[in-house]
Amino acid sequence: MMRIVQGGGLDARALVSRETMTDSAAEDAARLIIADVRGEGDAALRRYTERFDGVRIDAIELPETALTEALAAMPEDFARTLRQAADNIRAFHARQVQRGFVISEADGVLLGQRVMPLQRVGMYVPGGTAAYPSTVLMNAIPARIAGVPEIVMTTPPGRDGNVDPGVLAAAKIAGVGRVFRAGGAQAIAALAYGTESVPRVDKIVGPGNAYVAAAKRLVYGQVDIDMIAGPSEILIVADDTADASCVAADLLSQAEHDRMAASILVTTSEALALAVQREIGLQMPRLRRADICGEAIEKNGWIFLTRSMEEAIDISNQIAPEHLELFVEDPFRWLSRVRDAGSVFLGGYAPEALGDYFAGPNHTLPTNGTARFSSPLSVDDFIKKSSFLYYSKEALAAVVPHIADFARREGLDAHAESVSRRFREVDSK
């Protein structure tokens, strides 16, 4: 049952905090796996696939035709849904594209910035007991819009050695180039360092379990990563106009992700709080993942009662949730007060699941309070920037005394000399 607490004066963030996914045991295991993959390449990938996924594989890479065939075999309705979701994601992320610039305001001075795509990105997609075509769309489409020429995907095979056809269909629609049957920390190592089959990438994106998160942390610096994602979370701010059954359903939609997922309601209405408690009890037993929901609700289910909407928003900002629903009469009135949240869902007809699958904004979001300082996955994650500058002889001559003085004040005489020498006659003997 979700616990009800009075919200005023509480350190809400401390109360709902959870351990991070990268515990020491996972990190130790990931470190050993990474070393094996670096040393043995494909042989280590095959060995760990047999150990962890229970299947022997010969070819690590799937043939390109597997993606085309998977899409062709999809039920027409679901294929249409995948394409519409992809169109929505493209339309949203196309607005994020950055352009370079050039500044030429003084005689003989030219400054600028170039925006360039990363050359190869590796995408990790969880598999095994679950399949996530939505993850493929959300990670690959922004990379394509950024101009990344090569996107490769790793995902663990099922017990039959195959990859979920929905994942492969989404990969085809999103523009993934190559797919490899490898999961866990070993897949992250392969992407970071390369093997005989898997190419080395510039950046790794995508969610995973504790071992995947630990491996991403360990290879960061060798490659870039998107984020260290923790368990999922939702926070709903609701007033007395909210529908208790819908609020409960939305809370359960996050609880079914993971036993460590957090479902939090912040409300000004005690009647709503009690009704949501009842609805949770009624709806949860009907779910296929009721056992996971039950454990998540028991560990990380909270209801905060507040005296005002202002106090409710303050609690939300303390927690900085991954998903924030403003399930209130006039959500736009309160949006400007929201400071820290991964994505905000406004009103009674914008459930979090809408963002997970279809609307367009990215569903790869900062978790566990990191929305205080980080952002959703975007086109920006797949670009790099480089500055350039040009000075004519006359333009540099005008500023040499300033640069040389600045350098000497920092004790860097060679810096001063490097600009001064260009304008001094040097004995060539």
pLDDT tens for each residue of 217-241: 999 999 999 998 878 899 999 999 9
Rg (CA), the chain: 26
Residue-level pLDDT at 230: 78
User: How many separate helices (H) and strands (E) can be counted in the chain?
Assistant: 17, 14
Please tell me the CATH code under which domain 24-225 is placed: 3.40.50.1980
- Residue range(s) occupied by CATH 3.40.50.1980 in the chain: 3-18+231-346, 24-225
Measured CA to CA, the distance from residue 102 to residue 338 in angstroms comes to: 35
Model confidence at 254: pLDDT above 60: yes
CATH class of residue range 3-18+231-346: alpha beta
pLDDT digits (tens, 9 = 90+) for 48-58: 999 999 999 99
Question: What rounded mean pLDDT belongs to the chain?
Answer: 94
Active centre residues (catalytic): 322-323
Residue-level pLDDT at 428: 46
Residue-level pLDDT at 6: 86
Mean pLDDT calculated for residue range 252-256? 95
Fill in the DSSP letter of residue 388. Answer: E
Measured CA to CA, the distance from residue 184 to residue 61 in angstroms comes to: 16
Cα-Cα-Cα-Cα torsion 156, 87, 348, 287, nearest 10 degrees, comes to -30
Mean pLDDT calculated for residue range 80-106? 96
